């Protein structure tokens, strides 16, 4: 069999194309720009401007005013969108996560403040109950602690409508219930929000990499048990394609693979199989690893940050949700 890449040395010296920056840049197969980035941002409902998150160095929970300022910074840096995650005062949490449906709650208030400050920046909202429930699960639980699918779905629909009414451009269900994409789409259409997009956390794995996030939004201590009865088994790849196919059929405009780096094979399969924008989430534990090793001087943190972001593009991602968005956009010279 003849190889499609005949290599006869020295006629073929692959290193020729690596000799200087201009030729390396000319022959680059993929690239990263600020327009690939979605800024993952944690907001809180207290007065303090910025509260550090212990397990995520340089990440702060922002109050409403700071979040509005951050939206202006996103615009200056050409970051197209912000993904919002709330830290809710424990006093406002209950078993059904009712604060999620409050039209004057933290997230709707932040959306309005950001849209006043920088209307051109897209706002993506997480649809799930875990920041709001006293037990830390993404949905309603029965007496055995099992997360109820259809009952949860009804609440998620209401939560998504509250976000859309407040001005969210994209609602992003991250709860992994079955059938909720179709239910959310129907409700958005009936309420006249025909252009509100759905980004489905379609292939979301039951991962240890979410640890620091649960710390950031304050659900870590509350969570009893794990999320294995609704999030995907890390052993599975075909199942991710079934999840994505189902969510597209139900009306998802974009789909997500999460976490990022340990699941690049899934990003590749999903982006190749479906003609739909594939978003990847570089989650809190990935951020924490890079930051922690960087702080110790064990790796060059900035270099590794850019390398991981580029690798998502190489794997086929259309966009990347990341806590590094601001730093990366600055490094890209935006
Ligand atoms: C939950 C949700 C999680 C994240 C986003 N939405 C965590 C979980 O499923 O427990 C994780 C984000 C991160 O780790 O950065 N609805």
Nearest CA to ligand 1 atom 9: 210
Going from N- to C-terminal start, the domains of the chain cover 34-331
Asked whether 286 lines ligand 1 (CB < 6 A), one says: no
Report the predicted TM-score, pTM, of the whole model to 2 decimal places: 0.97
Q: Where are the beta strands (DSSP E) in the chain?
A: 37-44, 50-52, 60-62, 81-87, 122-127, 170-173, 197-204, 254-258, 278-282, 319-322
For the chain, the distance separating the N- and C-terminal CA atoms, rounded to the nearest angstrom, is: 48
18 half-sphere exposure, CB direction, 13 A CA radius: 4
Q: Tell me, yes or no, if 93 is annotated catalytic.
A: no
**Which residues 6+ apart lie within 8 Å of 266 measured at CB?**
203, 237, 240, 257
Atom of ligand 1 nearest to the CA of 174: 16
pLDDT at 222 > cutoff 80: no
Q: Which of 71, 76, 181, 73 is nearest to 123 (CA)?
A: 71
Using alpha carbons, select from 149, 208, 145 the residue that is nearest to residue 173.
149
List pLDDT tens digits, range 55-97: 999 999 999 999 999 999 999 999 999 999 999 999 999 999 9
Q: What are the C-alpha distances in Å from 332 to residues 21, 32, 139, 310, 326?
A: 16, 8, 39, 12, 10
Read off the pLDDT band of 251 (50, 70, 90): very high
- CB of 128 closer than 6 A to ligand 1? yes
Residue among 138, 140, 213, 259 to mutate when testing ligand 1 (max atoms within 8 A of CB) = 213
Distance 210 CA to ligand 1 centre (A): 6
Query: Is 303 an active-site residue?
Result: no
pLDDT at 334: 61
Polymer length of the chain = 334
Which atom of ligand 1 lies closest to the CA of 285?
Answer: 14
Q: What one-character DSSP code corresponds to residue 283?
A: -
Residue in 86, 87, 65, 69 with CA at minimum distance from that of residue 77: 69
The predicted model gives 173-201 an average pLDDT of 98
- Count the Cβ atoms, other than its own, within 10 Å of residue 289: 17
State which ligand 1 atom lies nearest to the alpha carbon of 129: 16
Fold category of 34-331 in CATH: TIM Barrel (3.20.20)
Q: Using 50, 70 and 90 to split pLDDT, how confident is the model at 143?
A: very high
Mean pLDDT of 194-204: 98
CA 180 to CA 31: how far, in whole Å? 34
Supply the angle between the helices 301-315 and 264-273 in degrees, to the nearest 10: 30
């Amino acid at each position: 069999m003849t190889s499609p890449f005949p290599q006869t040395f020295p006629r073929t010296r692959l290193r020729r194309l690596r000799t200087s920056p201009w030729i390396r840049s000319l022959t680059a197969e993929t690239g990263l720009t600020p327009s690939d980035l979605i800024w993952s941002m944690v907001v809180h409902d207290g007065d303090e401007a910025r509260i550090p998150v212990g397990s995520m160095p340089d990440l702060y929970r922002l109050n409403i005013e700071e979040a509005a300022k951050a939206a202006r910074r996103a615009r200056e840096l050409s970051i197209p969108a912000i993904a919002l995650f709330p830290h809710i005062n424990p006093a406002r949490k209950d078993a059904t996560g009712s604060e999620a449906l409050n039209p004057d709650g933290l997230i709707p208030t932040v959306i309005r403040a950001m849209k006043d400050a920088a209307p051109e920046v897209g706002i993506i909202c997480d649809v799930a109950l875990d920041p709001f429930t006293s037990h830390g699960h993404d949905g309603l639980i029965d007496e055995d602690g099992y997360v109820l699918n259809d009952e949860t779905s009804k609440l998620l629909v209401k939560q998504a409508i509250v976000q859309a009414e407040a001005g969210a451009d994209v609602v992003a269900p991250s709860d992994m219930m079955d059938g909720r994409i179709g239910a959310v789409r129907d409700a958005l259409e009936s309420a006249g929000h025909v252009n509100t997009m759905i980004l489905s956390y379609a292939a979301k794995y039951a991962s240890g990499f979410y640890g620091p996030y649960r710390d950031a939004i304050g659900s870590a201590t509350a969570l009893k048990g794990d999320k294995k009865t609704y999030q995907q088994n890390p052993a599975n790849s075909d199942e991710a394609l079934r999840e994505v196919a189902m969510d597209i059929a139900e009306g998802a405009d974009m789909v997500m693979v999460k976490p990022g780096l340990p699941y690049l094979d899934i990003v590749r399969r999903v982006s190749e199989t479906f003609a739909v924008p594939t978003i990847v989430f570089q989650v809190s534990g990935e951020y924490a690893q890079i930051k922690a090793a960087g702080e110790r001087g064990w790796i060059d943190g900035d270099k590794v940050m850019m390398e991981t972001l580029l690798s998502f593009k190489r794997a086929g991602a259309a966009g990347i949700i990341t806590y590094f968005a601001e730093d990366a956009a600055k490094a890209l010279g935006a």
